[in-house]
Amino acid sequence: MNRPKPLHRILALLLLAVLAFAPLRAGAWGEKGHELINDLAAANLPSELPAFTRTRAARWELRYLGPEMDRLKGSGRSWDADRDPGHYLDIGDDGKIAGVVALAHLPASMAAYETALLAAHTTPYRVGYLPYSIADGWEQVRTDFALWRVLTYEATHAARATARARFAAEARLRATLTLRDIGVWGHFVADGSQPLHVTTHFNGWGSGPNPEHFPALRGIHERFESAFVNRFVNAAAVQRDIPAYVPLDPKRRISQRRLLSLVAGYLRGTNAAVVPLYRIAAAGGFSSGSARARAFTAAQLARGATMLRNLIAYAWEDSANEKIGYPAVAVRAILSGRAPFTP
């Protein structure tokens, strides 16, 4: 995809020069996979979303930000310890996290999740907290959109010209912040479509029951998500597996329970691909680039792009049901002129 402005080209070249001397770090899907997912999610956004999310420059920015959370790894001991577990979830063969938390019954918050894990003498920082990386980011983007809706409205409806100008400037800034938030958060949604990020068998089958007698396959994680994707997968193959968007009921608010149910269903589907992945790997498919391996990988990348596209659109739809400001006022009330916006 062509970059929209010469400045972007210059900044990208400078970044590549810096990265050439930085240590390589593995992350879900590798750089190409993350860029594909963010890019194709942006390319498939429904036309109902604000124009600022669907420009050529926005698509390039979202693509660039796809690998951002991997680029930032190594920022420091505190940063890495707190954020690295947000990229994965160790789901066992029993379908549970640490044997005590089922995806179908995810606790309502990270705090509640940690409390539940204490029963197994572990924490989210040991077994991962990917569902909450996805849920937290979605809630943030929903609020971004809610603020943009109101700021845009006030930019044309505020009583004084100075207020309209101020709201217009804030709306432009909020659009910039929204794209940044979507791009960075998209990384975690993409992580959720990589089967080796939602299993205890994350880099080889390891110890424990192995009913299909898979070989050790140590190093499969990087070979699958980076080496194989870089060599054998392209955007056209992934695009073929992305279905048309189906909106939710825009007047039905997406509750926390409903959001976590959507996320859990997505991760459950990814976890179901773990054994098929190991079957392909055991047959040498990821080394030879077999048709089965290519189709499997394109389908998983498409699941990530589809989920990200859907969640962005759901956030836009549900932002009309939000309350913002202090004291909080319903977005619909502000947009209908029934209540003032109180920043």
Please give the model's pTM, rounded to 2 decimal places. 0.91
| Burial of 3 per CB tally in 10 Å (0-12, 13-18, 19+) | middle
In angstroms, the CA 237 to CA 36 distance is 11
Mean pLDDT, the chain, whole residue set:
92
Cα dihedral across residues 228, 230, 235, 236: positive or negative:
negative
Judge whether 274 and 339 are in contact, CB under 8 Å: no
The contacts of residue 40 (CB under 8 Å, 6+ apart) are: 235, 238, 239, 242, 301, 302, 305, 309
Q: Residue 53 above 80 pLDDT?
A: yes
| Burial of 63 per CB tally in 10 Å (0-12, 13-18, 19+) | buried
Q: What is the token pair recorded at 150? A: 């109101």
- pLDDT for the residue 27: 57
Domains located in the chain, CATH noted:
22-313 (1.10.575)
| pLDDT digits 0-9 by tens, 131-160 | 999 999 999 999 999 999 999 999 999 999
The contacts of residue 250 (CB under 8 Å, 6+ apart) are: 317, 318, 320
Q: What is the DSSP-derived secondary structure letter of residue 11?
A: H
135: helix, strand or coil: helix
| pLDDT digits 0-9 by tens, 152-170 | 999 999 999 999 999 999 9
- pLDDT for the residue 12: 40
User: Can you spell out the DSSP letters for 217-254?
Assistant: -TTHHHIIIIIIHHHH--HHHHHTTPPPP----TTS--
**Where is average pLDDT lowest: 11-20, 72-81, 285-294?**
11-20
- pLDDT for the residue 5: 47
Judge whether 255 and 325 are in contact, CB under 8 Å: no
| pLDDT digits 0-9 by tens, 79-97 | 999 999 999 999 999 999 9
> Which residue is associated with the tokens 């994680």?
221
- pLDDT for the residue 252: 82
